[in-house]
A and B are shown apart, each in its own frame.
Chain A
């Protein structure tokens, strides 16, 4: 039972990280109909901004310093995403294949620059000492950092859902996910919504970059690419464009991966691929996605 709770907690923490990576992907795909292969780069850029902030701007080993660095990482990812959207994507609207190719190019280009600059070795991300402490629940000792990941993810999910539900830009984004041409036909500049979604997606990815850096003990230029794959899987299983679907899918994948890896070491990713194949075969719109008309 103690092991069960420990694995469950770790899985939820991992699922929270997957959600942060995937929520921007799902919004960007949902409203623009394009798979953004540079999304992992937003994560990496955010992570490096977080490291810089935690070592040069604030003291990352203090709780306040860490969370301020987390915010800087998020803003770094968001601003980089916005910059890419304004400089590159904006010229390629409705050219979906070109968008995919260009985003792959941006990912490779920025990855190469970061690798050349910082090397591919892990760079330590300072974090408060209490992150490595454990929290005692019965006879289980649960790592405290997992609660941070979960708390940040839940907070961001609530904020994003509130933004989508209660603000005009959120209304435009929800309508744009359904039918962006009709949004334009109501006199709304849907590109502003695109830019907002890019920024929010980059913000979430940047935050996830800092948290993943903490989770794996440091940041590297390669981290974005590996987590992007999980992000895509989460988005497809959850349903393109659905934030609640993405949250549910991330939770399932995070928890399942941990359990399978514990009881059948090395098979966690295999089981996830099986689930992905099953969803694509039997429910291609994803768990909470809508059937496209």
Chain B
């Protein structure tokens, strides 16, 4: 049973045809990793789902067509979004960043602080003064406060020190256990750890969809992702 379905999605930005008929599905209660080289349209695909870029084609969340909905309406259907580059509010405190994301009466701070205990002790600190890893924790935490049906996470380990990559990966593994997640990630060791389904993009199109075990095949990785299969 699929929770999210994209059918022939096209996105053009400033005259460039970025997404050229993207079609794939995200099954319920599984982690789907969206992979590909830099600049092939992975983040654009996520932004199109979130309504941050105007898209043509069909995007279905359950039975709901997202095409005509505004971003805040899409989120309120039960989608948590962690954008590339975190996009936390640097002038706000950690507490304010989190409270801004509250949509329900009883936001799940227990889960957030069990995953990221550091955020509790730093709740009065301005988010802009946090380290990159801590900022990523804030960004992920915002998406976990509410009971979302789908988590969309864009490159959560980008720019992080190796030690922090491990911490974020550990947190994602714990969250991934009982969630539906669409994850864009360049770190293949993290993808292998959490993903149950992979979708590979190239030049604005889907070129592979299937089992993550293919990532253990050196020739597959070189052909589709242009990197060696060892990790990042």
A residues near B (Cβ < 8 Å) are 168, 171-172, 174-175, 178-179, 181-190, 290
Are B89's CB and A184's CB within 8 A?
Answer: no
- Pick the interface stretch among B7-15, B96-104, B117-125, B167-175: B96-104
Q: Would you list 13 pairs from A and B whose C-beta atoms are within 8 A, ordered by A residue?
A: A171-B99, A174-B89, A175-B92, A178-B90, A181-B71, A182-B83, A182-B87, A185-B81, A185-B87, A186-B75, A186-B101, A187-B76, A187-B101
Whether B142 sits at the interface, judged by CB under 8 Å, is yes
Separation of A188 and B70 alpha carbons in the complex (Å):
10
* Bound form: Cα–Cα A176–B215 in Å: 40
**Complex contact A185–B89 (CB within 8 A):** no
Q: In the bound complex, do residue B100 and residue A188 qualify as a contact, i.e. CB atoms below 8 Å apart?
A: yes
Interface of B is mostly: loop
Chain B proximity of A29: nearest CB distance (Å): 16
- Checking A179, A187, A189, A190 against B89 with a beta-carbon cut-off of 8 angstroms, the contacting residue is A179
> Could you tell me if A186 and B142 are in contact, using CB atoms closer than 8 angstroms?
yes
Q: In the complex, are the beta carbons of B91 and A171 less than 8 A apart?
A: no
From B70, B96, B101, contact of A184 by CB (8 A) = B70
Shortest Cβ gap from A244 to chain B (Å):
12
B17 on the A face (CB < 8 A): no
Q: Which residues of chain A are near B193, meaning CB under 8 Å? A: none
Q: Does B184 contact A (CB under 8 A)?
A: no
Number of residue pairs spanning A and B whose beta carbons lie under 8 angstroms apart: 56
Partner pick for B87 among A168, A171, A179, CB 8 A cutoff:
A179
A171-B99, A175-B100, A190-B72 known; A185+B90 contact, CB < 8 A: no
- Does A171 contact B71, Cβ atoms closer than 8 Å? no
B182 to chain A, nearest CB (A): 14
Report how far A185 CA is from B103 CA in the complex, Å. 12
B50 beta carbon closer than 8 Å to chain A: yes
Contact B96 A171 (CB under 8 A): yes
- Name the 5 nearest CB pairs between A and B, nearest first: A187-B75, A184-B71, A182-B87, A175-B89, A184-B72
How many Å lie between the Cα of A190 and that of B71 in the bound state? Answer: 10
Are the CB atoms of B52 and A183 closer together than 8 Å? no
Shortest C-beta distance, A138 to chain B (Å), equals: 43
- Please name all residues of chain A whose beta carbon is closer than 8 Å to the beta carbon of B146 when the two chains form the complex: 187
Q: What B residues does A181 contact at CB under 8 A?
A: 52, 71
Q: Which residues of the other chain, A, contact B100 by a CB distance below 8 angstroms?
A: 171-172, 175, 183, 186, 188
**B96 contacts across to A, CB distance below 8 A:** 171, 175
Are B92 and A185 neighbours in the complex by a CB distance under 8 Å? no
A253–B3 alpha-carbon span in the complex (Å): 58
Q: Whose C-beta in chain B lies nearest to the C-beta of A184?
A: B71
Once bound together, how far apart are the Cα atoms of A174 and B128, in whole Å?
A: 14
Q: Is the CB of B52 within 8 A of A188?
A: no
Contact of A174 among B50, B75, B87, B91 (CB under 8 A): B91
**Residues on B with beta carbons closer than 8 Å to the beta carbon of A175:** 89, 92, 96, 100
* Nearest chain B residue, comparing its CB with the CB of A192: B72
Q: For B52, what are the chain A residues with a Cβ–Cβ distance below 8 Å?
A: 181, 184-185
Q: Give bound CA distance, A189 to B70, whole Å.
A: 9
- Chain A proximity mask over B14-50: 1 for CB below 8 Å, otherwise 0: 0000000000000000000000000000000000001
